A and B are shown apart, each in its own frame.
Chain A
């Protein structure tokens, strides 16, 4: 057991470093983690590759034991099928619609998930989080602030929060004129989930 834990430490460190915004997707190139040589007296450093898929989980099939994960952006975007088995750690973090980080290994030319981690959102410096009750209370009191839905227009249109305006994250700079000119005013951003 101890050995297993040690084996996974590089994965854990790495995944904890890979934090990003809510449901943004992306591929990370395989990370190079330096490991010390095997006591041969050689001071050179061997490099071990830990391949990772990072993105939004499109779907999970428990019948077929397959996770479909969307990686890449724009023309690079694609969906990858990653298999899992009873040894896959953290499979409960593979939930359709949630952003995940999947460590995988190639077996017989196909990717198999070894560890699944939720992709946690990291707040930018100086930005704080509101909970549902906080936002509700601010609205009930009639506090003045601008509520911004960062999702694509297609997601905003059918279901958005009271009083929200839509500035899709990819169009932020083009639509910045929708925000108040006074930069002291409170802005609250939200999208489709915590990860």
Chain B
């Protein structure tokens, strides 16, 4: 994308054009901060953390913020939702940078900052709110396009919902160790050649162990006229007893 854009800029007559080819992933890897856009901070499905004191947060904060003073962040890292985009701010650059580093080191992959911290937010006309602070995180992952909810999946797996079948795309060995009782087992690498075993008049809910292979299988089936959805979540089975952890 960047090289294509640079080429277009050249064509438009820009004389001095460069490309940072390694891009955003390399920038993060080198320990540098990235920032969230204003709209994402206001409306995105995020966890927005105010690292300042409860006092300051109560007096004025960005709407939807959860107040976790920096000194207490270390104890809360484990309880942060792993899949959530987390956006941080403080009134102190050193503090927000340290927090960013701490969370990235803890394995959280989607952490960014409010540009200019609290000051930057108000300076650019960002809305604020005041009053008792919020200290508990309530975040729910939104289903991606083509994903089935764990509830709908379970309803079909238990036989309650009859408009869908369960497809298990794990390997033969994995399925042999434990599987949903009603599941049709077709390992991902055979989905292309064995898709004829699946019904076209029912929804197909696909699972593997995390969702990665299920997603791939769903794309393959939908391309071929099936109505397939994939489950994201850690599925573990003992016998016919399976559990899903998001």
A160–B171 Cα gap in the complex (Å)? 39
Residue of B nearest to A186 (CB): B16
* A136-B30, A188-B20, A192-B24 as given contacts; A64 in contact with B9, CB under 8 Å: no
A149–B23 Cα gap in the complex (Å)? 9
Minimum CB–CB distance from B28 to chain A (whole Å) comes to 8
Q: In A105-123, which residues have CB < 8 Å from any B CB?
A: 108-110, 121-123
A159–B111 Cα gap in the complex (Å)? 8
A194–B192 Cα gap in the complex (Å)? 32
Interface membership of B40, Cβ < 8 A: yes
Interface membership of A185, Cβ < 8 A: yes
Most buried by A among B4, B39, B191, B220: B4
Interface membership of A39, Cβ < 8 A: no
Which of B51-59, B158-166, B196-204, B209-217 binds A?
B209-217
For B10, what are the chain A residues with a Cβ–Cβ distance below 8 Å? 124-127
Interface membership of B21, Cβ < 8 A: yes
Interface membership of A92, Cβ < 8 A: no
Report how many residues on chain B are interfacial, defined by Cβ distance under 8 Å. 59
For B189, what are the chain A residues with a Cβ–Cβ distance below 8 Å? 64-66, 83
Cβ-defined contact, B36 with A158, below 8 A: yes
Cβ-defined contact, A159 with B19, below 8 A: no
Q: In B10-38, which residues have CB < 8 Å from any A CB?
A: 10, 12-28, 30, 32-37
Cβ-defined contact, B216 with A81, below 8 A: yes
Interface membership of A5, Cβ < 8 A: no
User: A22 touches which one: B4, B28, B212 (CB < 8 A)?
Assistant: B4
A192–B19 Cα gap in the complex (Å)? 12
Cβ-defined contact, A179 with B14, below 8 A: yes
Cβ-defined contact, B39 with A189, below 8 A: no
A160–B112 Cα gap in the complex (Å)? 8
Residue of B nearest to A67 (CB): B216
Report how many residues on chain A are interfacial, defined by Cβ distance under 8 Å. 66
Interface membership of A12, Cβ < 8 A: no
* A191-B2, A192-B23 as given contacts; A129 in contact with B219, CB under 8 Å: no
Interface membership of A7, Cβ < 8 A: no
Cβ-defined contact, B2 with A64, below 8 A: no
A179–B158 Cα gap in the complex (Å)? 57
Residue of B nearest to A168 (CB): B1
Cβ-defined contact, B19 with A172, below 8 A: no
Minimum CB–CB distance from B241 to chain A (whole Å) comes to 22
Minimum CB–CB distance from A142 to chain B (whole Å) comes to 15
Residue of B nearest to A64 (CB): B188
Cβ-defined contact, B40 with A158, below 8 A: yes
**B contacts, CB < 8 Å to A:** 1-10, 12-28, 30, 32-37, 39-40, 44, 46, 85, 110, 112, 115, 169-171, 174, 187-189, 191-193, 212-213, 215-216, 219-220, 223
Q: List 19 A-B contacts (CB under 8 A).
A: A21-B4, A68-B215, A68-B219, A81-B191, A81-B192, A124-B3, A124-B10, A156-B37, A157-B36, A158-B40, A159-B34, A160-B37, A161-B24, A161-B35, A179-B14, A186-B16, A188-B17, A189-B17, A194-B21
**A contacts, CB < 8 Å to B:** 20-24, 58-59, 61, 63-66, 68, 78-79, 81, 83, 108-110, 121-133, 135-136, 148-151, 156-162, 166-169, 172-173, 176, 179, 183-194
What would 5 more interface pairs be, CB under 8 Å, given A186-B16, A189-B19?
A: A58-B219, A64-B171, A110-B192, A161-B27, A191-B23
